[in-house]
A and B are shown apart, each in its own frame.
Chain A
Amino acid sequence: MKDVRKTVRLAVLAAAVILIIVGIRENGFREVMSRAVMICLDCIGIG
């Protein structure tokens, strides 16, 4: 059971790194940034 957990843990970590790299290449970082640098009118209750 511990070995299964360890394997799953490492697999998820690897998937996370791969997804982040793929996401950055697909402009995911820029998209997050472009939203976050603008005031989110929904978040502040103006909509």
Chain B
Amino acid sequence: MRGARRKTGRDFGRRYVQLIAAVLYNCHITGFATGRIYRGSFKGICAPGLNCYSCPGAVFACPLGALQGALAGSARRIPYYVLGTFLLFGVLLGRVICGFLCPFGLIQELLHAVPLPKIRKSRVTRGLSCVKYGILIVLVIAYPLIRIAPGFCRIFCPAGTLEAGIPLVLKDAHLREQIGGLFSLKVAVLAACILLCMICYRAFCRFFCPLGAIYSLFHPIAFWGIRVEEEKCTGCQACVHACRMDVRRVGDRECIHCGDCRNVCPERAIRYGGGSKK
């Protein structure tokens, strides 16, 4: 059947990379036991994927948190260091980071394995994929500039609630005493996100993640990722039909370079590599 997806060893290879990345980002194991976050100098380096830096295990900074913090910081200076970091990650890997190096992407994929009815991709989901750009502009950029606070982290980020809020509140009685309406709101957002990810593949990634929105801007120029060999491609679109993201073609802004399309291409025209795209 055209578009039928078969699992190969490559799928498990990507899963191993995701797991290793998740462990590396959160290797401060004692933090989960003590409820204390890592305070070493690695926290000055941003990890490429979405991983809350208040997670007790987090060793690196979150790029979105760093950007919002820099924008909300005093003197409104241009955050050269954070912007340079985004440019570096984007031009080297772009949304390969989403597919391979994002712990929250891994969590979404694991949630999607729960046996519940699934929502298929459609024009509606393709349209919804634009929402993340609005979230980027409003909550990540404008809110910190105007309200001097991290908008996305404060109001929305389910990774922060799951990886940091809940573990820290469970461990620290002092924090538990300070729980209020905002915590309840964030837990509700997290619950909704979890449910949505169970029935819709990578729903947060596709519709709401501002980090994916930023990396998607680099899709024409990223050094490494999925590539289509033009001379072999017949335009059968088996790759697009098999893809669970809202791509119009392999390697576009919605492509997370997971490689599922390689398994279904009858001409074996799809590969990972560097250099220019189709």
Partner-B contacts on A (CB < 8 A): 1-2, 5-6, 8-9, 12-13, 15-24, 26, 28-33, 35-37, 39-47
Asked if B161 is an interface residue, CB under 8 A from chain A, the answer is: yes
Cα of A16 to Cα of B91 in the assembled complex, Å: 9
B41 to A, closest residue via Cβ: A33
Cα of A4 to Cα of B171 in the assembled complex, Å: 53
**Are B221 and A8 neighbours in the complex by a CB distance under 8 Å?**
yes
**Are A45 and B185 neighbours in the complex by a CB distance under 8 Å?**
yes
Q: Say which one of B80-88, B105-113, B257-265 lies at the interface with A.
A: B80-88
Other-chain residue from B66, B80, B183, B277 in contact with A35 (beta carbon distance below 8 A): B66
Cα of A47 to Cα of B160 in the assembled complex, Å: 12
Other-chain residue from B38, B52, B70 in contact with A32 (beta carbon distance below 8 A): B70
Cα of A47 to Cα of B70 in the assembled complex, Å: 17
**Are B178 and A46 neighbours in the complex by a CB distance under 8 Å?**
yes
Partner-A contacts on B (CB < 8 A): 37-41, 43-46, 52-54, 58, 60-62, 65-66, 69-70, 73, 77, 79-85, 87-88, 90-92, 149-150, 153-154, 157, 160-161, 164-165, 168-169, 175, 178-180, 182-187, 218, 220-223, 276-277
**Are A18 and B84 neighbours in the complex by a CB distance under 8 Å?**
yes
**Are B81 and A44 neighbours in the complex by a CB distance under 8 Å?**
no
For B62, the chain A residues whose CB sits under 8 A away are 36
Interface hub of B77, B91, B161 (most chain A Cβ within 10 A): B91
**Are B183 and A28 neighbours in the complex by a CB distance under 8 Å?**
no
Cα of A21 to Cα of B44 in the assembled complex, Å: 14
Cα of A47 to Cα of B258 in the assembled complex, Å: 36
For A18, the chain B residues whose CB sits under 8 A away are 84
Other-chain residue from B61, B73, B83, B221 in contact with A23 (beta carbon distance below 8 A): B83
For B87, the chain A residues whose CB sits under 8 A away are 12-13, 15-16, 19
> Could you list 5 further interchain pairs (A-B, Cβ under 8 angstroms) beyond the known A28-B82, A44-B168?
A9-B221, A9-B223, A13-B87, A31-B73, A40-B65
What are 26 A-B interface contacts by the 8 Å CB criterion? Answer: A5-B220, A9-B91, A12-B90, A15-B87, A16-B91, A19-B83, A26-B80, A28-B70, A29-B45, A29-B81, A31-B70, A32-B61, A32-B69, A33-B43, A36-B43, A39-B54, A40-B150, A40-B153, A40-B164, A44-B54, A44-B175, A45-B160, A45-B183, A45-B185, A45-B186, A46-B182
